[in-house]
Structure 1
Amino acid sequence: MADESRDRLRRRVVAALAAGMTVAAGLSVRSVLGGDLAKYAGDALYALLIFWLVLVVAPRSRAWVAAAVAFGVSVTVELFQLTGVPAELGAHSTLARLVLGTTFNAPDLPFYALGAVLGWALHRAAGEIRSARRRRRAAHSR
């Protein structure tokens, strides 16, 4: 049981570090890129951040589940913008504006999907690397 707890903790720490790197990338993208490129990169990074946060909360989740949740949450927040509530909150809070946005923009939706798929692909690639390392260690210990 201790190994399982350590594994969950390791997964949470890795996901939290990835989330931190994603936030840094999101904050940097606006200073490096401009216009639509920065905006849509930010959309993809928003979904990617949610992907990592799902894995922080539920570290044993399958990557496709985390990707589906990330996309679903992103679309839900985007649709919530149609109510005007996020714009009102954003007028009084920078944090609300960053998290909820202010206005609905349908072209954001495919970029949320891109961010969720990117999370799935990165998670899968990391798993492949871990598996290859285990196979090499097992081969050397024989």
Structure 2
Amino acid sequence: MSITRFRLAMLGAALGFLALALAIRAVAPLGGWAEQSSGTALYASMTYAGVLFLAPRLSPFVAGGIALGWCWGAELFQLTGVPAALSEESLLARLVLGAAFDPIDLIWYPIGIVPLVALHLMIRKRT
């Protein structure tokens, strides 16, 4: 697969994860467990696809590590209160950085990334 096609696939994957998260949010009880957990895992999945969109030659493990580092970093950054303040002013900041620290999110991020790393490894092995 060419780099351009791979990047388009990663863009499509990221948009698909976003659409799925929004669809779940539309039907799940607001603030409920399903909305929160799926949104966190799908944010991580979207981040993984975004990393590969930006750097398509990365190995699955490196891309997964970068995505997980970003997610955990953003979550820990929420402890400072800065993302909460930014989120009050900007929906985009809220979507990218979140607003409030939740230690359970630290578990859900790898749940959104590890299956994609495994799938990526299987696809690379096959081609």
TM-score by length of 1: 0.82
SS in 2 for 1:65: helix
1:36 aligns with 2:51: no
What does 1:1-142 align with in structure 2 at a 5 Å threshold? 7-34=2-29, 35-127=32-124, 131=127
Q: State which structure, 1 or 2, has the greater radius of gyration over its C-alpha atoms.
A: 1
Task: Give 1:65 deviation, angstroms.
Answer: 1.0
Task: State the partner residue of 1:3.
Answer: none
Separation in 2 of the partners of 1:127 and 1:33?
35
Residue type of the alignment partner of 1:17: G
- Report the count of equivalent residues: 125
Separation in 2 of the partners of 1:40 and 1:29?
10
Residue type of the alignment partner of 1:12: R
Separation in 2 of the partners of 1:44 and 1:126?
21
Separation in 1 of the partners of 2:55 and 2:14?
14
Task: Give 1:94 deviation, angstroms.
Answer: 1.2
Residue type of the alignment partner of 1:102: A
Task: State the partner residue of 1:138.
Answer: none
Percent identity (aligned) = 42
Deviations 1:42-68 (A, max 9, x none): 100111111001110111111111111
Residue type of the alignment partner of 1:51: Y
Separation in 2 of the partners of 1:126 and 1:30?
30
TM-score by length of 2: 0.91
Separation in 1 of the partners of 2:122 and 2:26?
29
Separation in 1 of the partners of 2:18 and 2:124?
22
Structure 2 unmatched runs, 5+: none
Contact residue 82 and residue 104 of structure 1 kept, 8 A: yes
Task: Give 1:82 deviation, angstroms.
Answer: 0.5
Deviations 1:110-142 (A, max 9, x none): 1001111022123234445x53xxxxxxxxxxx
Structure 1 unmatched runs, 5+: 1-5, 132-142
Task: Give 1:32 deviation, angstroms.
Answer: 2.3
Residue type of the alignment partner of 1:23: L
